[in-house]
Amino acid sequence: MSAPASVDPRGPRFAAVVTTVVLAIVLFTEWWPLLAAQTVVFALGAFAGLRFAPYSVLYRALIAPRLRPTTEREDAAPLRFAQAVGFAFALVGTIGYATGLPTVGVIATAFALFAAFLNAAFNLCLGCEVYLLLQRVTPRTKRMNA
């Protein structure tokens, strides 16, 4: 069995800062194509992996080389789950704006912005916390040795 994927924890926080800015712009302008682009960013992080997420690529190319190396690593699974939650909210928001239901767009975008801001400002990843809670309450099946 291989070790779980891990990431430099500064990368997701950088991504949360960029996401916060993008979602704040969407809330102020209601420009849903920008939210659609953010939805794609969330989808790549959640379903293709953090390695392919655009903000992760930016962090690795532009920011990480200027920082001191770190031995601290963070499990990627909770972060990918958080990206999936962000994807769901951004998708609902995009559909709301695009179909003439701006209240739906605003509410969904505001929830995503709140979560991104908590991560950016306080290093509190709500999606990660939900993932860990689900891990604790979900029954595990024991593997039988054949």
Identify the pLDDT of residue 113: 98
Q: What is the pLDDT along the chain (146 residues), one digit of tens a residue?
A: 556 688 999 999 999 999 999 999 999 999 999 999 999 999 999 999 999 999 999 999 999 999 998 888 999 999 999 999 999 999 999 999 999 999 999 999 999 999 999 999 999 999 999 999 999 998 876 555 54
Q: Does pTM top 0.85 for this prediction? A: yes
CA atoms within 13 A on the CB side of 49: 7
In 3D, which of 94, 5, 90, 10 has the Cα closest to residue 43? 90
C-alpha angle 130/135/138, rounded to 5°?
110
Alpha-carbon gap, residue 23 to 64, rounded angstroms: 24
Identify the pLDDT of residue 2: 56
Token pair in block for residue 88: 């769901």
- Residues in Cβ contact with 37 at an 8 Å cutoff, skipping those fewer than 6 apart: 22
Identify the pLDDT of residue 145: 55
